[in-house]
Structure 1
Amino acid sequence: MEGISIASKPSGIEESIIDFSQITLRPLHLSDIDDVMVWTTDKKVAKFCSWEPHNSKEDGINYIENIATKFLWCKAICFSDRAIGCISLSSNSPHDISRNKSAELGYVLGSNYWGRGIATFAVKQVVKVTFSELSHLERIEALVDVQNVGSQKVLEKSGFQKEGVLRKYVQLKGKGRDMIMYSVFDNDPKV
C-alpha cells in the first residue's frame, strides 16, 4: 500500500448500516482487477499515498501481481467479496525478519466506503491476527500524514497510540511531509 488513505464521508452510496459480516480480508486476485481499478484510479484515494492514480489496467495488474506480493502480509478488504481496498504489513527489515520485531501497517479504501467504519474494522482484524500469525512481531506501526485526519481516527479507534510527529519525514509527491507515528504492541489492551 505504500501509504495510508482514508479521510472523508462516503459519497454516492446508500447511507445504510454496514453489515460487518460481509467484510472479509483475503488475498488479491487478478479477477479483482475491475474492483481494484475503482480505487487505484481515484485521485481522492491516492492523495496521501506514495503512488499516483493508476491510468491503465496494466497499472492495476502490476499492482496485483508485483507490488502487493512484496509485502510481508497483504489482503484485499472485501465487501460482499468485492475488493474495495487493501491492507498490508511491510517489514522494516525485509532481509532479516527474525531480528525485526515490528512491521508497518498500510491500508487503502475506495472513497465510496469512507466514513463507514470499514477501515477501522479491517485494522482491528489485522491487529488480532498479526500477533498470532506473525508471532515474532511485537509492534505494528503506522505513519499517517498530519492532514489525513480520517486515518488518524481509524488508528485511534483501533487501539493505536500516537507517538509523535516526525517533521518533514517523507518526500511525498515532491513535498516534504510531516507524519504522525502510531503504534500498537502485542501486549496492549485490545479494543
Structure 2
Amino acid sequence: MKNSSTPLITLRPFRLTDVDDFYLWASDDRVISPLRWTTVTSKDEAFNFIRDKCIPHRWRRSICLDDRSIGFVSVYQWSGDERCKADIGYAVATEQWGKGIASSAVKMAVNQVFDDMPELLRVQGYVDVLNTASQRVLEKAGFQKEGTLRKYTYLKGQIKDFHLYSFLSTDCSS
C-alpha cells in the first residue's frame, strides 16, 4: 500500500498534455547532456518532440510521480536476427536525482518490456565511464556490468569510453 506522503512512481506512454512537465526536465542541460538528444529550447519544441518522437516510439515511457512526467525510459529493440536484444536509455529531472526513482523506473521497465516483447532475451545499457550515478542506477536495477568499451562512441563532440551492462530475461523476478 502506498504511504500518503510517498509519491507513486509509474511508467506510462507519453501524452501531449505532458508538454509543460516534459519541458521542465528536457530543457535542463544537466539531464540531457549524457543523451543523444539535444536540449529542448521551447514548449513548442517539447510538444513536437512528444508528438513526433515519444508517442510513436514502440517502447518509450514517461517516468511519472503522481502522474506528472519527471523523466523517461526507452527501450530500443534491435532488428532482424538481432531482435533478441534491446538497448535502454533513461533520464530523470535533476530535482529527483539521488532518490532511487531512476533505478525503480528502470527495474519496472525491464520487467514490463520482457512481457511486451517476449522475443527479447537481453536488455543492455551503455554508460559513460565518468557517469557513476547512471552506473549505480543500472546496478541497483539488477543489471550486470560486462566490461568497458574503449573509445566506443562519439557523443556531443567527444570520443567516449562506455561501460556495458546487461539484464537478461532470466534475471527477472517472478
1:137 aligns with one of 116, 120, 142: 120
1:163 aligns with one of 130, 134, 146: 146
1:1-191 mapped onto 2 (5 Å cutoff): 19=6, 22-93=8-79, 96=80, 100-188=83-171, 190=173
Query: 1:189 offset after TM fit, Å?
Result: 5.8
Kindly provide the CA deviation profile for residues 81-114 of structure 1, in whole angstroms up to 9, marking residues without a partner as x.
1000011101222xx3x75101111111001000
Change (3 A) 1:99 1:46: closer
CA distance in 2, matches of 1:182, 1:158: 11
SS at structure 2 position matched to 1:187: helix
Paired amino acid for 1:160: F
CA distance in 1, matches of 2:55, 2:108: 20
Query: 1:66 offset after TM fit, Å?
Result: 1.3
Aligned residues: CA RMSD:
1.9
Unmatched 5+ stretches in structure 2? none
Paired positions, count: 171
2:15·2:55 contact (CA, 8 Å) conserved in 1? no
SS at structure 2 position matched to 1:105: strand
Query: 1:62 offset after TM fit, Å?
Result: 2.1
Paired amino acid for 1:175: Q
CA distance in 2, matches of 1:174, 1:58: 26
Query: 1:69 offset after TM fit, Å?
Result: 3.7
Kindly provide the CA deviation profile for residues 50-101 of structure 1, in whole angstroms up to 9, marking residues without a partner as x.
12211112221122111224533111000011000011101222xx3x7510
Q: Percent identity?
A: 40
Paired amino acid for 1:34: D
CA distance in 1, matches of 2:126, 2:11: 21
- Scaled by the length of structure 2, what TM-score is found? 0.91
- Scaled by the length of structure 1, what TM-score is found? 0.83
Change (3 A) 1:163 1:35: same
Change (3 A) 1:168 1:185: same
CA distance in 2, matches of 1:71, 1:171: 24
Kindly provide the CA deviation profile for residues 29-48 of structure 1, in whole angstroms up to 9, marking residues without a partner as x.
11000000011110111121
